[in-house]
Amino acid sequence: MGLAIVFMGQLTVQSVVQAQSVHRYAISFDQAMQHQARISVEFPNIDEQPLQVRMSRTSPGRYAIHNFAKNVYDVQAYDEQGNQLEIIRPNPQQWNVIGHDGFVRFEYTLFANRGDGTYSQIDETHAHLNIPATFVYARNYPQRPIELAVELAKNAAVVGHSCSPLVDGFQPPWVSGSLSTHPPDLQPGAVNYGFPSREEEYSNYLEAVYTLANAGVDLIFLE
């Protein structure tokens, strides 16, 4: 089953050129038992310079350096005719794709087994996808619209962002976004505040996931 979700934000497609410049993402979970997702991104209508593809180092709400690219491997890039392209790593967070024809399909495997609200986690029961820890982006094209296709297991239900459930009764939920399981402890008049321990945070995360599962939800997408 495929689900297409278009993220436009404040953008509107005002011309044929812009409509042809959508960055199309696809994610599948065939290797969920190994905590892996396979992700591909199509970057059309790019200039002749090397395409700079990057992975975030930080996540909104918690700006410590995490270097999410360390969980990315088996990286490949192709032109529109399917020819494999050369990739250069100028730094640990970036892949430069050279020799393209104005179109690049960028593919990679993501390892995700840390469900703490900052990293992503995937297994045979659910997927929690924090966007900065999951998806690469084209450095020189930040304003382009994005389309995301999620390849779900057969009979999966989909909930969130005006999506209605398709069917009932699948596995515990696939979660894309942050469940915000780590609110700070703020006391009235306090100058300092603290976050829960990693163990408490993980416990809160699992509680949130299985609460959703008991409600019959299979996928939630959160901004």
* Predicted pLDDT of residue 181: 52
Q: Is the dihedral of CA 163, 166, 168, 170 positive or negative?
A: negative
Which residues, in sequence order, are bridge partners of residue 26?
40, 149
**Does the pLDDT at position 194 exceed 70?**
no
Number of separate domains in the chain: 1
Q: pLDDT by residue (tens digit) across 22-55?
A: 999 999 998 988 999 999 999 999 999 999 999 9
**Does the pLDDT at position 165 exceed 70?**
no
**Does the pLDDT at position 102 exceed 60?**
yes
Nearest-5° angle of CA 55, CA 58, CA 62?
155
Name which residue leads in pLDDT, 25 or 213.
Answer: 25
For the domain that residue 128 is a member of, what is the CATH number? 2.60.40.3650
Q: Which domain holds residue 61?
A: 1-223
Average pLDDT over residues 11-29: 69
Q: Please tell me the pTM assigned to this model.
A: 0.68
Confidence of residue 152 (pLDDT cuts 50, 70, 90): confident
Average pLDDT over residues 212-216: 63
> Contact, 53 vs 97, CB < 8 A?
yes
* Predicted pLDDT of residue 185: 59
**Does the pLDDT at position 169 exceed 80?**
no
Q: Hey, what are 173's tokens? A: 């939920």
Q: Hey, what are 120's tokens? A: 């992503």
**Does the pLDDT at position 218 exceed 60?**
no
**Does the pLDDT at position 71 exceed 50?**
yes
Name which residue leads in pLDDT, 41 or 2.
Answer: 41
Q: Is the dihedral of CA 4, 10, 16, 22 positive or negative?
A: negative
> Following DSSP, what letter does each residue of 75-89 receive, concatenated?
EEEE-TTS-B-EEEE
**Does the pLDDT at position 18 exceed 60?**
no
Task: Report the alpha-carbon distance of residue 158 to residue 166 in Å, rounded.
Answer: 6
Mean pLDDT computed over every residue of the chain: 76
Average pLDDT over residues 78-90: 97
Q: pLDDT by residue (tens digit) across 72-83?
A: 999 999 999 999
